[in-house]
């Protein structure tokens, strides 16, 4: 009984994951990589549009390893770069890039776009 319920939940989560993947689909040939990493408490997402991060603040528990999906809806390359240098990734126009980030132990850490320093945001401890 319990197991059946858990299984159903897993199926639902997988379906959601597929829907997400389908959404981001550009011109075919997408990465066929396994979406199994989604099993760690959800993947927060950031959208870049109009030279701004949305939302500009993400929260997670202190010290968590979190995978963030960043989608660039502008027509120029942006980046997601932690102010403390802990992670960086370029995000080409129209694409979604996933970055693994270790959340700060306390307080918050800023992030920015290395190409456009006026684009900023914050990772805050929940």
β-strands 120-125, 57-60: how paired? parallel
Looking at the Cβ atoms of 26 and 50, the one nearer to Cu ion is 50
Least distance in angstroms from the C-beta of 50 to Cu ion = 11
Least distance in angstroms from the C-beta of 69 to Cu ion = 17
Q: Going by C-beta distance under 8 Å and a sequence separation of 6 or more, which residues neighbour residue 114?
A: 79, 81, 88
Contact track, Cu ion, 52-91, x by CB under 5 A: --------------------------x-------------
């Amino acid at each position: 009984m319990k197991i059946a319920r858990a299984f159903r939940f897993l199926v639902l989560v997988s379906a959601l994951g597929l829907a997400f993947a389908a959404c981001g689909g550009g011109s075919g040939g997408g990465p066929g990589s396994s979406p199994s990493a989604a099993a760690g408490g959800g993947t927060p997402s950031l959208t870049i549009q109009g030279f701004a991060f949305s939302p500009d603040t993400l929260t997670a528990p202190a010290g968590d390893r979190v995978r963030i999906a960043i989608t660039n809806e502008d027509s120029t390359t942006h980046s997601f770069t932690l102010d403390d240098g802990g992670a960086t990734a370029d995000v080409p126009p129209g694409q979604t890039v996933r970055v693994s980030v270790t959340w700060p132990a306390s307080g918050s850490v800023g992030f920015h776009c290395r190409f456009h320093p006026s684009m900023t945001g914050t990772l805050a401890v929940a």
